[in-house]
Amino acid sequence: MIKNYVVNLRLFRINPNKNIMRNPLRLSITSLLLFISITAFSQLNGTIKGKVLTIDGKPAAYVTVALTDKNQTAISNDQGEYIFTRVKAGNHNLKASAIGISEQVKSVTLAAGEIKIVDFNLKESNEVLQEVTIAGKKNKYKISLPSASLRLNEPLLEASQNIQIVSGEAIKDQQIISMSDGMLRNVSGTVRLEHWGDLYTNINMRGSQIQAMRNGFNFVASYWGPLTEDMSTVDHIEFVKGPAGFMLGNGDPSGMYNVVTKKPTGFNKGTAEITAGSYDLYRATLDIDRKLTEDGKLLFRLNAAAQSKGSFRPYEQNDRYTFAPVLSYQLTNKTKLTAEYTWQNARMTEVGSYYIFNTNGYASLPRNFTLTQPGLDPTRINDHSAFLNIQHNFNSNWKATAQAAYSKYLQTGYSSWPSSINTDNTMIRNVGIWDAESTMKLAQFFMNGKAQTGGVAHRILGGFDGGKKNYMADWGQSHDLDLPNSPFDVNNPNYGFPANGYPNFDRETSLETRAIAAGGLMDQKYLSVYLQDELGFFANKARLTLAGRYTYVSQSAWGGASDKAKHFTPRIGLSVSIDKNTAIYAIYDEAFTPQSGLLRNGNTPNPITGTNHEVGLKKDWFGGKWNTTLSAYRIRKQNELTSDPYNKAGETFSIIIGEKRAQGIEFDVRGELTSNLKLIANYAYTDGKVTAVADGVTGVFVGQVVPGFAKHTTNAWLSYSLQNGSLKGTGVSTGFTYLAGRAVGTYSGENSSENLPNFFKLDAGLFWENKKLKITANAFNLLDKYLYSGAFYTNYWNAPDYNQAVYSWQAESPRNFRLSLAYKF
């Protein structure tokens, strides 16, 4: 048939020397024969399409469907749909596969011109496929499923907990390069009590410092850790608000954040990016993601970064190097092994270089003012961490996870803090040694399962986790840079050779011996067992969570004797789906945190205990493209220690506050309002006060504002891009942070939420991208405001007048810029 049409077409071939438009009849016949030939040819081919669904009937996105005999592949979209067009009639084999699932093969006989519907129903549930989905797709501002390391085997919409996830794309769009670099604008109610430069993040939320997690492990080895993560290794970050007994039993009732590192995805891809910015910022990152075997069982991913970074303050630097390889191997169709290692190296100015002190009030010195002394050796840090994870799917209902982590943190450096501050604007600057070593050995085992008893569905989680942490530090040596007869004058600073010379600390003696002498030893051993059953009623529209965790902890600090504690913490939650896109929840949860400290009366402090009452409303909009969460909570926390405000030089005594209460309302919205308009916005009202004071405690009173929070916190980040036309891929973004009613960072004095002025920071940017390139440029603190956080000391040690007031603050960067160029391969 085709041959005849070709012959007929040749009979009507066009003479290029003649204008065919002069012969309408010839044009019509030619067009007709072309249409008939194309139609006849297409009728020899067919179409194969269908959906990939999970065992619970939900679409499975980013599953590979292959025509194995034709070496053609398609990837299922967010609705689970795939399609092959112009498939030759005949017999074919279709295979659906993805890393971590049981592949399916179907034989298909396709007739000429036929549209064949072939659906796949995978044995895995939607929860099992969450990692495939998140890894396969381009991350958006909204992630609907928690990571496997969070242990919850359900969509966020159904969980009776307020969990906010900052996606990888949001991190890239905002040019965030570390955990302490603008990350907190993406989550309601989060602030930083003390910046500690880029060394430690120290996030406050709901009136307290929250726990720092990495891949599901508590990575806090001391009061200052862990080293803030470089974003080159981070896939996304999960903020869990309130107690979370499903994660850990000895955590703060205010919540935690879980950094999820990048894993191999099963897609061959890579990205190389360079960034340049104000104050001598130069940065390069590399992300390589590869299948090492054709069957996709052995996967590899490497992330690396190198950074040189200055500061708007003179004599300050922050150079970082990161190297993070990951291997993943599919041992069987049901068992997967993942091993990863991360090395972070930092070379930075001593801790404290960003603090400013004065007796004349906040912001009474230029924001680029510094008290640091040029010529001091930099602080050097080597941070090593390794993770080993094995997952085994017994069947579509039961999965076991075992994982272990090891961390070694090594620091050689300094900390600066004035030893004396005078009312005539002079002071004695002091540099103390800060050499430290931290070792953590952690292990977890947990099982996720599903069961049915009558009309009740069960989501079961059970397991245990344990660990051993050791931290030792020498902070017992210090040196005054200035002399009483030649103090440092903040009005006429002299950064030449210091009057008292540079320190010459003893580093020949072993760190352990020095740490014992300085009281710089901390250790912790813990073991906990956890069981949770989420009972689903009325076709899982109502979900009741009943859970409990038993925890045993033995720990010591400051070189003191070990304190032992054991505690059972219950958890009760209720989540009800009003419709498939809306859920309300209520939760009661408890937490306890063993603590060690030196009390003036010699007593041993009791563990912190806390309770959380919370209700909330979650809703997905327009097919899940964006989400809103509204919650109201009240947290009560007893027995918490804080530094004694009447400590003098060299004293490390603590006091027991008694009880403090944090309550508030939080609202978050994130996702794609339209295909070209993305939004992250949040608001939080936080009220934190002391509600009871322990007997004999002075310096703290009932009704006193809890340090380190803002009563009103508002953030937004809006990104708009053009989807069509010659400027396709071009976009604009803008964001702001507004803080009002800010409390200072200490309990000292009559501090109130009015001690710090309101804070407003405006950022904006431009970007352009296509399939291979992306160019991003952002301007931060666009209005060039003098922004800062601070603390107030009514009684400053070693001052000529011990009752004098001293103001301390840390300035934010002036207006600054960043430009990034990313190439995808």
**What tokens were used for 821?**
């160029």
Would you place residue 496 in the very low, low, confident or very high pLDDT band (cuts 50, 70, 90)?
very high
Of the two residues 565 and 363, the one the predictor is more confident about is: 363
Write down the pLDDT at residue 799: 56
Mean pLDDT is lowest, of 100-104, 107-111, 295-299, 748-752, for 748-752
DSSP 8: H
Write down the pLDDT at residue 21: 42
- Reduced to 3 states (helix: H, G, I; strand: E, B; else coil), residue 714 is strand
Contacts with 84 (C-beta within 8 Å, 6 or more apart), sequence order = 47, 48, 49, 67, 72, 74
Write the DSSP assignment of 758-815 as a string of letters.
-EEEEEEEEEEE-SSEEEEEEEESTT----EEEEEESS-TT-SSTT--EEEEEEPP-S
* Alpha carbons 302 and 265: distance in angstroms, whole number: 12
- Cα-only R_g, the chain: 31
CB of 554 within 8 A of CB of 560?
Answer: no
Would you place residue 333 in the very low, low, confident or very high pLDDT band (cuts 50, 70, 90)?
confident
* Alpha carbons 596 and 555: distance in angstroms, whole number: 7
Mean pLDDT is lowest, of 3-12, 75-84, 148-157, 215-224, for 3-12
Convert the pLDDT of each residue in 678-692 to its tens digit: 999 999 999 999 898
- Nearest Cα to Cα of residue 338 among 399, 274, 403, 282: 403
Write down the pLDDT at residue 63: 82
Of the two residues 710 and 4, the one the predictor is more confident about is: 710
User: Do residues 35 and 91 share a domain?
Assistant: no
CB of 627 within 8 A of CB of 650?
Answer: no
- As a residue count, the chain comes to 825
Write down the pLDDT at residue 38: 45
Q: How far is CA 12 from CA 18, 20, 448, in A?
A: 13, 11, 71
Would you place residue 801 in the very low, low, confident or very high pLDDT band (cuts 50, 70, 90)?
low
> Count of CB atoms within 10 A of residue 723's CB?
11
Write down the pLDDT at residue 750: 55
* Alpha carbons 780 and 281: distance in angstroms, whole number: 14
- Boundary-marking domain end, from 121, 143, 170: 121
Residue 560 lies in a domain: yes
Convert the pLDDT of each residue in 193-203 to its tens digit: 666 778 888 88
User: Do residues 555 and 482 share a domain?
Assistant: yes
User: Do residues 24 and 79 share a domain?
Assistant: no
* Alpha carbons 282 and 277: distance in angstroms, whole number: 7
DSSP 511: H
Write down the pLDDT at residue 542: 97
Return the C-alpha torsion angle 510, 515, 517, 523, nearest 10: -130
Return the C-alpha torsion angle 246, 249, 252, 255, nearest 10: -10
Would you give the distance in Å from CA 770 to the centre of its chain?
27
Give residue for tokens 């200052």: 224
Q: Note if the pTM is more than 0.95.
A: no
- Nearest Cα to Cα of residue 476 among 507, 518, 506, 417: 518
Write down the pLDDT at residue 108: 92
Would you place residue 575 in the very low, low, confident or very high pLDDT band (cuts 50, 70, 90)?
very high
Residue 785 lies in a domain: yes
pLDDT at 758 over 60: yes
Write down the pLDDT at residue 320: 96
Of the two residues 698 and 1, the one the predictor is more confident about is: 698
Q: How far is CA 412 from CA 348, 352, 371, 409, in A?
A: 11, 15, 21, 10
Average pLDDT, integer, range 362-386: 95
Backbone phi and psi for residue 206, each to the nearest 5 degrees, phi listed first: 55, 40
Write down the pLDDT at residue 658: 81
- Reduced to 3 states (helix: H, G, I; strand: E, B; else coil), residue 42 is helix
| No. of helices (H) and no. of strands (E), the chain | 5, 50
User: Do residues 7 and 117 share a domain?
Assistant: no
596-601: which pairs have CB atoms within 8 A and are 24 or more residues apart? 596/522, 596/555, 596/556, 596/557, 596/558, 596/560, 596/563, 597/557, 597/558, 597/641, 597/653, 597/654, 598/558, 598/560, 598/652, 598/653, 598/654, 599/653, 599/654, 599/655, 599/656, 600/644, 600/653, 601/696
| Cis previous bond, 374, omega within 30 | no
CB of 779 within 8 A of CB of 763?
Answer: yes
- Boundary-marking domain end, from 98, 121, 144: 121
Residue 622 lies in a domain: yes
- Boundary-marking domain end, from 100, 121, 142: 121
Share of the chain above pLDDT 70, in %: 86
- Nearest Cα to Cα of residue 64 among 6, 121, 136: 136
Would you place residue 20 in the very low, low, confident or very high pLDDT band (cuts 50, 70, 90)?
very low
Residue 39 lies in a domain: yes
Question: What CATH number does residue 303 fall under?
Answer: 2.40.170.20
Return the C-alpha torsion angle 301, 307, 312, 316, nearest 10: 120
Convert the pLDDT of each residue in 401-451 to its tens digit: 999 999 999 999 999 989 888 888 899 999 999 999 999 999 999 999 999
Residue 239 lies in a domain: no
pLDDT at 41 over 60: no
Write down the pLDDT at residue 24: 47
Convert the pLDDT of each residue in 234-284 to its tens digit: 999 999 998 887 887 677 788 999 999 999 988 889 999 999 999 999 999
* Alpha carbons 642 and 653: distance in angstroms, whole number: 9
Q: How far is CA 552 from CA 163, 187, 464, 569, 611, in A?
A: 27, 32, 11, 11, 19
Mean pLDDT is lowest, of 150-164, 245-259, 795-809, for 795-809
Backbone phi and psi for residue 5, each to the nearest 5 degrees, phi listed first: -65, -40
pLDDT at 579 over 80: yes
User: Do residues 37 and 58 share a domain?
Assistant: no
Write down the pLDDT at residue 101: 65
Mean pLDDT is lowest, of 235-244, 493-502, 596-605, 778-787, for 596-605
User: Do residues 73 and 10 share a domain?
Assistant: no
Average pLDDT, integer, range 518-537: 93
User: Do residues 36 and 82 share a domain?
Assistant: no
Question: What CATH number does residue 58 fall under?
Answer: 2.60.40.1120
Single-letter amino acid code for the residue at 733: S
CB of 385 within 8 A of CB of 403?
Answer: no
Average pLDDT, integer, range 704-713: 88
- Reduced to 3 states (helix: H, G, I; strand: E, B; else coil), residue 3 is helix
**What tokens were used for 329?**
């191997």
Backbone phi and psi for residue 398, each to the nearest 5 degrees, phi listed first: -130, 135
Write down the pLDDT at residue 2: 39
Strands (E), 360-397: 379-393
* Alpha carbons 434 and 505: distance in angstroms, whole number: 10
Write down the pLDDT at residue 208: 85
Q: Distance from first CA to last CA of the chain, Å, rounded?
A: 45
Write down the pLDDT at residue 800: 58
User: Do residues 29 and 60 share a domain?
Assistant: no
Average pLDDT, integer, range 635-646: 76
User: Do residues 111 and 6 share a domain?
Assistant: no
Q: Whole domain around residue 512: which residue ranges?
A: 269-824
Q: What is the mean pLDDT of the chain?
A: 86
**What tokens were used for 244?**
């979370």
Would you place residue 796 in the very low, low, confident or very high pLDDT band (cuts 50, 70, 90)?
low
User: Do residues 67 and 37 share a domain?
Assistant: no
pLDDT at 539 over 60: yes
Average pLDDT, integer, range 163-178: 95
- Reduced to 3 states (helix: H, G, I; strand: E, B; else coil), residue 344 is strand
* Alpha carbons 803 and 793: distance in angstroms, whole number: 9
Write down the pLDDT at residue 401: 96
Write the DSSP assignment of 393-451 as a string of letters.
ESSSSEEEEEEEEEEEEEEE-EEE--SEE-TTSEEE-EEEE-EEEEEEEEEEEEEEEEE
* Alpha carbons 717 and 686: distance in angstroms, whole number: 21
- Reduced to 3 states (helix: H, G, I; strand: E, B; else coil), residue 544 is strand
Write down the pLDDT at residue 651: 65
Would you give the distance in Å from CA 253 to the centre of its chain?
19
* Alpha carbons 201 and 211: distance in angstroms, whole number: 11
Write down the pLDDT at residue 596: 65
Residue 538 lies in a domain: yes
Of the two residues 198 and 667, the one the predictor is more confident about is: 667
User: Do residues 435 and 521 share a domain?
Assistant: yes
**What tokens were used for 211?**
């726990």
**What tokens were used for 77?**
């979209």
Residue 544 lies in a domain: yes
Helices (H), 121-187: 130-136, 168-173
Average pLDDT, integer, range 25-45: 51
Highest-confidence segment of 42-56, 218-232, 360-374:
360-374
Residue 167 lies in a domain: no
* Alpha carbons 320 and 349: distance in angstroms, whole number: 12
Write down the pLDDT at residue 753: 45
Write down the pLDDT at residue 438: 95
pLDDT at 100 over 90: no
Backbone phi and psi for residue 2, each to the nearest 5 degrees, phi listed first: -60, -40
Write down the pLDDT at residue 34: 47
* Alpha carbons 655 and 642: distance in angstroms, whole number: 6
pLDDT at 807 over 80: yes
Into how many domains does the chain fold?
A: 3
* Alpha carbons 415 and 432: distance in angstroms, whole number: 5
Write down the pLDDT at residue 707: 84
Residue 784, phi-psi category: left (phi > 0), alpha (psi -120 to 50), beta (remainder): left
Helix (H) or strand (E) holding 5: helix 2-11
Contacts with 602 (C-beta within 8 Å, 6 or more apart), sequence order = none
Write down the pLDDT at residue 249: 67
**What tokens were used for 535?**
């009972």
User: Do residues 53 and 37 share a domain?
Assistant: no
Contacts with 485 (C-beta within 8 Å, 6 or more apart), sequence order = none
